[in-house]
Protein backbone atom coordinates (compact mmCIF):
# COMPACT_ATOMS: atom_id res chain seq x y z
CA UNK A 1 0.00 0.00 0.00
CA UNK A 2 2.76 2.43 0.97
CA UNK A 3 6.35 2.25 -0.24
CA UNK A 4 9.04 4.74 0.78
CA UNK A 5 12.39 4.49 -0.96
CA UNK A 6 15.56 6.37 0.01
CA UNK A 7 13.63 9.33 1.45
CA UNK A 8 15.69 12.28 2.67
CA UNK A 9 14.39 15.55 4.10
CA UNK A 10 15.36 18.40 6.36
CA UNK A 11 14.84 22.02 7.31
CA UNK A 12 17.32 24.41 5.78
CA UNK A 13 20.76 22.89 6.19
CA UNK A 14 19.63 20.56 9.00
CA UNK A 15 19.13 17.00 7.72
CA UNK A 16 16.30 15.17 9.51
CA UNK A 17 15.66 12.07 7.36
CA UNK A 18 18.55 10.22 5.74
CA UNK A 19 17.89 7.58 3.08
CA UNK A 20 14.78 6.10 4.75
CA UNK A 21 13.14 3.09 3.12
CA UNK A 22 10.13 1.18 4.44
CA UNK A 23 6.92 -0.44 3.26
CA UNK A 24 3.44 -1.00 4.66
CA UNK A 25 1.44 -3.81 3.09
CA UNK A 26 -2.33 -3.56 2.49
CA UNK A 27 -4.32 -4.09 5.69
CA UNK A 28 -1.31 -3.80 7.99
CA UNK A 29 -0.82 -1.55 10.99
CA UNK A 30 2.87 -0.61 11.17
CA UNK A 31 4.45 1.44 13.94
CA UNK A 32 7.23 3.97 13.55
CA UNK A 33 9.10 4.32 16.86
CA UNK A 34 11.94 6.60 17.87
CA UNK A 35 13.08 9.23 20.30
CA UNK A 36 11.82 12.79 20.05
CA UNK A 37 13.59 14.49 17.17
CA UNK A 38 14.28 11.24 15.31
CA UNK A 39 12.26 12.44 12.30
CA UNK A 40 9.00 10.51 12.75
CA UNK A 41 6.62 13.43 12.21
CA UNK A 42 8.73 14.78 9.34
CA UNK A 43 8.40 11.42 7.61
CA UNK A 44 4.60 11.46 7.93
CA UNK A 45 4.48 15.07 6.68
CA UNK A 46 6.55 14.10 3.64
CA UNK A 47 4.20 11.23 2.86
CA UNK A 48 1.16 13.50 3.22
CA UNK A 49 2.68 16.20 1.01
CA UNK A 50 3.02 18.75 3.81
CA UNK A 51 6.82 18.87 3.61
CA UNK A 52 8.95 18.62 0.50
CA UNK A 53 11.64 15.90 0.69
CA UNK A 54 15.08 16.55 -0.71
CA UNK A 55 15.27 13.10 -2.27
CA UNK A 56 13.63 9.71 -2.55
CA UNK A 57 10.29 8.34 -3.63
CA UNK A 58 6.88 7.79 -2.01
CA UNK A 59 4.29 5.49 -3.60
CA UNK A 60 0.69 4.85 -2.56
CA UNK A 61 -0.80 1.72 -4.07
CA UNK A 62 1.96 1.72 -6.68
CA UNK A 63 1.41 5.36 -7.68
CA UNK A 64 4.28 7.82 -7.35
CA UNK A 65 3.12 10.77 -5.25
CA UNK A 66 5.91 13.13 -6.37
CA UNK A 67 4.61 16.64 -6.94
CA UNK A 68 1.10 15.99 -5.64
CA UNK A 69 -0.18 18.45 -3.01
CA UNK A 70 -1.79 17.19 0.19
CA UNK A 71 -5.39 17.57 -1.03
CA UNK A 72 -4.65 15.44 -4.12
CA UNK A 73 -3.08 12.76 -1.94
CA UNK A 74 -6.16 12.82 0.28
CA UNK A 75 -8.36 12.19 -2.77
CA UNK A 76 -6.23 9.13 -3.53
CA UNK A 77 -7.14 7.72 -0.10
CA UNK A 78 -4.42 9.05 2.20
CA UNK A 79 -5.69 10.24 5.60
CA UNK A 80 -3.81 12.44 8.09
CA UNK A 81 -4.38 12.39 11.86
CA UNK A 82 -1.94 15.01 13.24
CA UNK A 83 -0.54 15.07 16.74
CA UNK A 84 -2.15 18.44 17.51
CA UNK A 85 -5.63 16.86 16.95
CA UNK A 86 -7.16 20.26 16.24
CA UNK A 87 -10.70 21.42 15.74
CA UNK A 88 -12.53 24.08 13.81
CA UNK A 89 -13.20 26.94 16.20
CA UNK A 90 -16.50 27.99 14.61
CA UNK A 91 -17.94 24.49 14.03
CA UNK A 92 -19.78 22.03 16.21
CA UNK A 93 -18.79 18.38 16.42
CA UNK A 94 -21.59 17.42 14.02
CA UNK A 95 -20.49 20.10 11.54
CA UNK A 96 -16.87 18.91 11.72
CA UNK A 97 -18.03 15.40 10.88
CA UNK A 98 -20.21 16.61 8.00
CA UNK A 99 -17.44 18.68 6.44
CA UNK A 100 -14.97 16.07 5.07
CA UNK A 101 -15.72 14.91 1.50
CA UNK A 102 -16.42 11.19 1.24
CA UNK A 103 -13.94 10.05 -1.40
CA UNK A 104 -13.67 6.32 -0.76
CA UNK A 105 -16.06 3.36 -0.94
CA UNK A 106 -15.41 2.47 2.71
CA UNK A 107 -16.31 5.89 4.10
CA UNK A 108 -17.92 5.58 7.52
CA UNK A 109 -21.49 6.85 7.75
CA UNK A 110 -22.39 9.34 10.46
CA UNK A 111 -24.35 6.66 12.30
CA UNK A 112 -21.35 4.31 12.18
CA UNK A 113 -19.14 7.07 13.58
CA UNK A 114 -21.56 7.80 16.40
CA UNK A 115 -21.82 4.08 17.21
CA UNK A 116 -18.02 3.88 17.41
CA UNK A 117 -17.61 7.21 19.22
CA UNK A 118 -20.59 7.61 21.58
CA UNK A 119 -18.92 10.55 23.32
CA UNK A 120 -19.02 12.47 20.04
CA UNK A 121 -22.74 11.78 19.70
CA UNK A 122 -23.31 13.15 23.18
CA UNK A 123 -21.28 16.27 22.33
CA UNK A 124 -22.48 16.59 18.73
CA UNK A 125 -23.94 20.08 19.21
CA UNK A 126 -20.97 21.40 21.19
CA UNK A 127 -18.28 23.62 19.64
CA UNK A 128 -15.30 21.43 18.83
CA UNK A 129 -13.00 23.73 20.80
CA UNK A 130 -14.82 22.82 24.04
CA UNK A 131 -13.88 19.13 23.77
CA UNK A 132 -11.38 17.46 26.08
CA UNK A 133 -8.07 16.16 24.70
CA UNK A 134 -9.46 12.66 24.46
CA UNK A 135 -12.62 13.82 22.71
CA UNK A 136 -10.52 15.84 20.25
CA UNK A 137 -8.50 12.73 19.45
CA UNK A 138 -11.71 10.79 18.81
CA UNK A 139 -12.91 13.61 16.53
CA UNK A 140 -9.61 13.66 14.61
CA UNK A 141 -9.85 9.91 13.96
CA UNK A 142 -13.54 10.08 13.11
CA UNK A 143 -13.05 12.89 10.57
CA UNK A 144 -10.55 10.81 8.60
CA UNK A 145 -12.64 7.63 8.77
CA UNK A 146 -15.59 9.62 7.42
CA UNK A 147 -13.62 10.31 4.23
CA UNK A 148 -13.12 6.63 3.44
CA UNK A 149 -9.32 6.91 3.52
CA UNK A 150 -7.66 3.59 2.73
CA UNK A 151 -4.35 4.56 4.39
CA UNK A 152 -4.09 6.42 7.71
CA UNK A 153 -1.06 8.35 8.93
CA UNK A 154 -1.50 8.67 12.71
CA UNK A 155 0.91 10.82 14.72
CA UNK A 156 1.03 9.95 18.45
CA UNK A 157 -2.73 9.26 18.84
CA UNK A 158 -2.40 8.12 22.48
CA UNK A 159 -0.21 10.95 23.76
CA UNK A 160 -1.62 12.47 26.95
CA UNK A 161 -4.66 10.19 27.06
CA UNK A 162 -5.94 8.22 30.04
CA UNK A 163 -5.54 4.41 29.94
CA UNK A 164 -9.26 4.08 29.22
CA UNK A 165 -9.02 6.35 26.18
CA UNK A 166 -5.81 4.67 25.02
CA UNK A 167 -7.71 1.38 25.00
CA UNK A 168 -10.51 3.06 23.02
CA UNK A 169 -8.06 4.34 20.41
CA UNK A 170 -6.77 0.78 20.09
CA UNK A 171 -10.30 -0.51 19.52
CA UNK A 172 -10.88 2.07 16.79
CA UNK A 173 -7.62 1.27 15.00
CA UNK A 174 -8.39 -2.45 15.10
CA UNK A 175 -11.89 -1.75 13.76
CA UNK A 176 -10.41 0.35 10.95
CA UNK A 177 -8.01 -2.49 10.12
CA UNK A 178 -10.93 -4.94 10.06
CA UNK A 179 -12.52 -2.67 7.44
CA UNK A 180 -9.39 -2.96 5.29
CA UNK A 181 -7.72 0.30 6.30
CA UNK A 182 -3.91 0.36 6.36
CA UNK A 183 -2.16 2.38 9.08
CA UNK A 184 1.29 3.90 9.59
CA UNK A 185 1.38 4.83 13.26
CA UNK A 186 3.89 7.02 15.09
CA UNK A 187 3.78 5.78 18.67
CA UNK A 188 5.97 5.89 21.79
CA UNK A 189 3.79 3.55 23.86
CA UNK A 190 5.34 0.19 23.00
CA UNK A 191 2.79 -1.86 24.92
CA UNK A 192 -0.04 -0.16 23.04
CA UNK A 193 1.81 -0.55 19.74
CA UNK A 194 2.06 -4.33 20.14
CA UNK A 195 -1.70 -4.55 20.73
CA UNK A 196 -2.57 -2.92 17.41
CA UNK A 197 0.44 -3.23 15.07
CA UNK A 198 1.80 -6.08 12.96
CA UNK A 199 5.34 -4.76 12.61
CA UNK A 200 7.53 -1.95 13.90
CA UNK A 201 10.30 0.22 12.47
CA UNK A 202 12.82 1.89 14.78
CA UNK A 203 13.98 5.30 13.57
CA UNK A 204 17.17 6.83 14.98
CA UNK A 205 18.92 10.00 13.83
CA UNK A 206 16.85 10.03 10.68
CA UNK A 207 17.54 6.43 9.65
CA UNK A 208 15.68 3.14 9.95
CA UNK A 209 17.92 1.06 12.20
CA UNK A 210 15.72 -1.98 12.89
CA UNK A 211 12.54 -3.71 11.76
CA UNK A 212 10.88 -5.76 14.50
CA UNK A 213 7.85 -7.99 14.90
CA UNK A 214 5.76 -8.14 18.08
CA UNK A 215 7.62 -11.10 19.56
CA UNK A 216 10.92 -9.25 19.21
CA UNK A 217 9.48 -6.13 20.82
CA UNK A 218 8.17 -8.15 23.78
CA UNK A 219 11.51 -9.94 24.20
CA UNK A 220 13.45 -6.68 24.16
CA UNK A 221 10.91 -4.39 25.82
CA UNK A 222 13.18 -3.12 28.62
CA UNK A 223 16.04 -2.49 26.20
CA UNK A 224 13.78 -0.62 23.78
CA UNK A 225 12.13 1.45 26.51
CA UNK A 226 15.56 2.51 27.76
CA UNK A 227 16.65 3.30 24.21
CA UNK A 228 13.56 5.42 23.59
CA UNK A 229 14.07 7.24 26.87
CA UNK A 230 10.66 6.25 28.24
CA distances from 4 to 23, 39, 210 (A): 6, 14, 15
Q: Element (H or E) spanning 206, and its range?
A: none
Q: What is the pLDDT of residue 87?
A: 63
Q: What is the pLDDT of residue 198?
A: 92
Q: Is residue 179 a contact partner of residue 106, using CB atoms and an 8 Å limit?
A: yes
User: What is the C-alpha to C-alpha distance for residues 117 and 70, in angstroms, rounded to an integer?
Assistant: 27
User: What is the C-alpha to C-alpha distance for residues 211 and 4, in angstroms, rounded to an integer?
Assistant: 14
Q: What domains, with CATH codes, occur in the chain?
A: 2-84+150-228 (3.40.50.300)
Q: What is the pLDDT of residue 168?
A: 86
Q: What is the pLDDT of residue 18?
A: 93
The β-bridge partners of 4 are: 22, 58
Q: What is the pLDDT of residue 218?
A: 84
The b-or-e profile of 119-153 (16+ CB within 10 A means b, else e) is bbbebbeebbeebeebbbbbbbbbbbbbbbbbbbb
User: What is the C-alpha to C-alpha distance for residues 59 and 41, in angstroms, rounded to an integer?
Assistant: 18
Report the candidate in 60, 49, 120, 130 with the shortest Cα–Cα distance to residue 90.
130
Q: What is the pLDDT of residue 63?
A: 94
User: What is the C-alpha to C-alpha distance for residues 141 and 129, in angstroms, rounded to an integer?
Assistant: 16
Number of helices and strands in the chain (H, E): 10, 10
DSSP letter (8 states) at residue 50 = S
- For the question of whether the overall pTM of this predicted structure is more than 0.95, the answer is no
Neighbours of 67 (CB within 10 A): 8
Q: Which residues contact 43 (CB under 8 A, 6 or more apart)?
A: 4, 7, 9, 17, 20, 32, 203
pLDDT in tens, the chain (230 residues): 999 999 999 998 888 999 999 999 999 999 998 888 889 999 999 999 999 999 999 999 999 999 899 999 998 999 998 887 666 777 899 988 888 777 767 788 888 889 888 989 999 999 888 888 888 888 888 888 888 889 999 998 888 788 888 888 898 899 889 888 999 999 888 888 888 999 999 998 889 998 998 888 888 888 888 777 65
User: What is the C-alpha to C-alpha distance for residues 142 and 47, in angstroms, rounded to an integer?
Assistant: 21
Q: What is the pLDDT of residue 42?
A: 93
Q: Which residues contact 204 (CB under 8 A, 6 or more apart)?
A: 34, 35, 38
Amino acid sequence: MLRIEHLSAGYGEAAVLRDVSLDVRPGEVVTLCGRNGAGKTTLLRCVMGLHRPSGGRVELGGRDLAGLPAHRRARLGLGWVPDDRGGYATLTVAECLSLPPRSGPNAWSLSTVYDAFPALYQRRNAPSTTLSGGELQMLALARVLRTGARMLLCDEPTEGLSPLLVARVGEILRAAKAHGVTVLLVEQNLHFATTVADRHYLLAEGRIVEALDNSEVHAREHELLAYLGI
